[in-house]
Chain A
C-alpha cells in the first residue's frame, strides 16, 4: 500500500468508524427523523477527517521525495472519494433495511445521495483551498464550517420536533419527485457528482503543483 495513502487514510478511516458507530447505530435503531438528520453530519465528519489529516501532513517533506505532486493530489482525492462512497453505501444499506418499517422512504435514498454528493464536493473544495491558501489560513474557515454544520443540524432537529410546519429536507418537493424513481435519480446524481469531482481533482492537481502556501 502506498505510504502516503496509508498514512492519510488513518484519519479518514477513524472518522468513518466513529461516524458509523455513533450515527450508524442511530440509523439502525431510532425512528423518524433519524434519516433526515444523520446524513447532515456526513459533510461535518468528512471535513473533520480532512482537518485532522491536513493538520498532520507534511507536504514540504513529501515534495523532497520522488513523488509527483499530481500523485499526492490524486491520492488525497481518491481517499476522500473512497470514504464518502463507503459512507454513502452504508447509509443506503441502513435506509433499505428500514424501508419496511416506514422509517426510510424511496426519497430517503435520494436525500442521502444528495448530502453525500455535497460532502464530497465540499471536501474537494476545502482540500483545494488548503493547498492554495495553506492550512493556517484555512484552519479557522474549516473550524467555523464544521461548527456551523453541527449547529445547523441540531437546530434543524430541534425545529423538526418542536415546530409543526418546519420543512424536512428529505421531503422537499424535488427530493420527493426524484424519489419516484430513486435508483435512476441516485445514478444520475452520482454521475453528476463524480464528473464535478473529477473536474475539481484536475483543478486540485494544478493548484497543488503551483502553490507553496501548504508547504
Chain B
C-alpha cells in the first residue's frame, strides 16, 4: 500500500516539552490513531504533520512532497481539525465559508451546508456564540468540504455528544471506505476512535513508545487472572500492572502469543483465566509511572 504521510526523526522543542525523534508512516486508505496521555505530544505532532508548525529537526513528506515545496497543494489535499479550533469570533459561520472558499481548489459549498445541517450548527450564528463542540463540528465540516484526501484530526470527538460522536465515527469509516482516503487522528483512548483505528501509535513524553496494527496488538495483550501459585514463576514475573486481590491476582501480558503453550495447563485446571485487554489497558502499561 502507498504511504501518504511519512515523518522522519521529528524533533521540536518547547520551553517545557520536546517532541523527540518521532518517525512514522501512514498508509493510504487506513485509519491510524495516535494515542497517549495528556502532554504526550500528540497535538504538537499533528500540528507538525499538518504543516501548522515548523520542526527543529526531521522531515515530513505528504503525498511525496514537503510543505516547503508545495504548501498550497498539500493543504488543499489535507483536512486539519485542531484540538481547539480557532475562527474569527465575531463572524458568522456562513461568512467563514465565503471567506475560505476562494482559497480551496475544490470547495464544496453545498456539501458544507449539508454537513452543518447534519451537525445542527446554525450558519447564521457568530462563532463566539457556538459551544466548544459546535466549533469542533464546524472545523470538521470545513475539513470534509474541500475534497481532502487525508484528514488529520486532533481529538475530533472531544466535546461531542454521543449522537454526534457516533455519526462522526461512521462518517470517518465511510471516508476511508473506497481505499483512497486516509484518516490520522490523535485521541485519548476512550472516546471511540480506538474502535475504528486500524493502526495504533502510542506516544508518551514526546516519543513513540509503540506502534502496531490494532488487531495484532490486542491479540498479544491479555489480562491473566490467576490464583496464587497457579502460574509458573517466570510468567508471573513477566506480567505488568499486577493487582493483588483477595481471591487471586491479575496481570497484563504483552506476550500472550508466545505464552499460549505454557498457559494451556493452568487454563485447563481452572486456576487461570484470560480476558481481552483494551487499548487503554495497553496504553497504561506503556506510560511511565502509570
Contact = CB atoms under 8 A, between A and B. Distances in A.
A179 to B, nearest CB: 46
B72 interface: yes
A61 B87 contact: yes
B75 A65 contact: yes
B99 A3 contact: yes
6 smallest A-B Cβ distances: which pairs? Answer: A66-B75, A60-B86, A66-B76, A65-B103, A68-B71, A3-B99
Nearest to B79: A64
Given A60-B52, A64-B75, A68-B72, 19 more contacts: A3-B102, A7-B99, A58-B89, A60-B86, A61-B85, A61-B88, A63-B52, A64-B82, A66-B71, A66-B74, A66-B75, A66-B104, A66-B105, A67-B103, A69-B71, A209-B54, A210-B54, A212-B53, A212-B54
Interface string A53-93: 00010101101111111000000000000000000000000
7 contacts: A3-B98, A64-B50, A64-B52, A64-B80, A66-B72, A66-B103, A67-B103
B147 to A, nearest CB: 11
B50 to A, nearest CB: 8
Contacts of A56: 88, 90
Contacts, number: 52
A153 B1 CA distance: 68
A65 B100 contact: yes
A191 to B, nearest CB: 32
Interface in B61-96: 71-76, 80, 82, 85-90
Interface string B143-156: 00000000000000
Contacts of B100: 3, 65
Range of interface residues on B (Cβ < 8 Å): 20 to 34
A65 B89 CA distance: 17
A56 B80 CA distance: 22
Nearest to A209: B54
Contacts of B76: 66
Contacts of B88: 56, 58, 61
Which interface residue of A64, A65, A215 has the most chain B CB atoms within 10 A? A64
Contacts of B89: 58
A56 B103 CA distance: 20
B16 to A, nearest CB: 15
Given A3-B102, A210-B54, A212-B53, A67 B87 contact: no
Interface string A2-20: 1100010000000000000
Nearest to B47: A212
A58 B85 CA distance: 11
Contacts of B85: 61
Given A66-B103, A66-B105, A60 B82 contact: yes
Nearest to B68: A209
B48 to A, nearest CB: 11
A7 B51 CA distance: 24
Nearest to B75: A66
Contacts of A215: 52
Contacts of A212: 53-54
A207 to B, nearest CB: 11
A58 B103 contact: no
A63 B53 CA distance: 9
Interface string A88-127: 0000000000000000000000000000000000000000
A164 to B, nearest CB: 52
A53 to B, nearest CB: 12
Interface string B212-256: 000000000000000000000000000000000000000000000
A3 B97 CA distance: 11
Nearest to A59: B86
Nearest to B104: A66
B167 to A, nearest CB: 22
B22 to A, nearest CB: 18
Contacts of B105: 66
A61 B86 contact: yes
Nearest to A212: B53
Nearest to B76: A66
A58 B96 CA distance: 12
A64 to B, nearest CB: 5
A114 to B, nearest CB: 37
B87 A58 contact: yes
Interface in A174-215: 209-210, 212, 215
B54 A67 contact: no
B60 to A, nearest CB: 14
A56 B91 CA distance: 11
Contacts of B82: 60, 64
